[in-house]
Structure 1
Amino acid sequence: MQEIDDNTASKQAKVTILTDEIITINKKKYRLVENHENGFDEEKIEERFNTVLDKFDYVVGDWGYDQLRFKGFYDDQRPESGIDNKISHLEDYLIEYCNFGCSYFVLEKENKSPFKKHNSKKPSRRPRKKRPTNAAPHHNHNSNNTNKNPHPNASNKRKRASTSKFKIRKIGENSK
């Protein structure tokens, strides 16, 4: 039984308080941005902190029913973050998911990961299959009804489209 306790102790986070505002958690430096109602508790952070939170720019710890829970947030300028994970939505999180008037704290990571480059290109679409320009329309006509055109203006539209002043070019063809 002693062996199990040693294993759980080794999985705990190591919290070191450097100044009133600067701490380290597992050798990563954080700045204590807000400590509402003295929500910051070094011992409970050591017990409950998870390394999954290392990827976030901000870590929020809030108290409910004598339990500390964590939520990670990203900087607002990060294109890879969702709207619910941006730090500007912290107040919404506190109102919607935390107990009214609960104690909480906000930690900001000192050395944040660099922002990922946002891909400004539109997602590529699958190209449509085109019919050859000389192909006949797909109409099922009986030999008896050859004079009856189900779309009497279709041939006129085709003529108008072909005489337009715009040149149709294939995808990937450079403009000249």
Structure 2
Amino acid sequence: MSNQEENKVKVRHAPADVVLVSPEFVVINQLKYRVVTNYRNALDSELLKLKFDPFLDKYDYLVGDVSSDKLRLKGFFKGTSNKINLDKRVETIEDYIYEYLNPGVAFFVLESLTPKKIKVPARNKKRHNEQPVKKTNLTGKVAEKTTKRRRHSFVIKKRDTSES
């Protein structure tokens, strides 16, 4: 295998449409983002074009870090809803940068300016301990059981202790 084949990025989706409008704004797949931070000029449209997955469209903030000419992206949500994991909230971006990125690595933070409506799937309101109620026929005769139940009884006998 040659070096060119090893360095080739495996893409599992179509390349994104990335347009750097200005140093403060970027458009990715017709969604507008504001550049919050571009530390060490990390925002590279070519790397972003290859790495951006449409799955990331749902996030309000994107953090990308470039290490060894490879881009890693992570998404974060606005809000404090209990449905959002703590590690996916916007308040934890700074913690993520300090804990998960190498010191001095180039990174960028993008804020989505396109409002999104996330559909939350409807949950089944039936609780696990609720049972459906069966109708009973109170006017009819009581059905007799066709199988007879054997009744067992136990008798405890005293031991004969007399000597014979």
Q: Shorter-normalised TM-score: what interval? A: 0.5 to 0.7
Match 2:75 to one of 62, 72, 77: 72
Match 2:103 to one of 100, 105, 113: 100
| Matched position secondary structure for 1:71 | strand
Structure 2: distance between partners of 1:116 and 1:80: 12
Structure 2: distance between partners of 1:116 and 1:15: 26
The residue type equivalent to 2:95 in the other structure is D
Alignment-derived partner of residue 81 in structure 1 = 84
TM-score, scaled to structure 1: 0.58
Alignment-derived partner of residue 41 in structure 1 = 44
1:76 and 1:88 in contact (8 A); partners too = no
TM-score, scaled to structure 2: 0.62
The residue type equivalent to 1:73 in the other structure is F
2:65 and 2:108 in contact (8 A); partners too = yes
| Matched position secondary structure for 1:91 | helix
Gaps of 5+ in 1: 1-7, 118-123, 128-176
2:79 and 2:90 in contact (8 A); partners too = yes
Structure 1: distance between partners of 2:104 and 2:91: 19
Per-residue CA distance 1:106-159 (angstroms, 9 max, x = gap): 111101324779xxxxxx6847xxxxxxxxxxxxxxxxxxxxxxxxxxxxxxxx
2:25 and 2:34 in contact (8 A); partners too = yes
1:118-129 superposed matches below 5 A: 126=129
Structure 1: distance between partners of 2:129 and 2:14: 48
1:23-34 superposed matches below 5 A: 23-34=26-37
1:80 and 1:116 in contact (8 A); partners too = no
Alignment-derived partner of residue 55 in structure 1 = 58
Structure 2: distance between partners of 1:63 and 1:78: 30
When the two chains are superposed, the root-mean-square deviation of aligned CA atoms in Å is: 2.9
Q: Which has the larger radius of gyration?
A: 2
1:60 and 1:70 in contact (8 A); partners too = yes
Structure 1: distance between partners of 2:92 and 2:81: 14
Structure 2: distance between partners of 1:11 and 1:108: 23
The residue type equivalent to 2:51 in the other structure is R
2:58 and 2:118 in contact (8 A); partners too = no
1:127-138 superposed matches below 5 A: none
| Matched position secondary structure for 1:101 | coil
Amino-acid identity (%): 36
Q: How many pairs align? A: 120
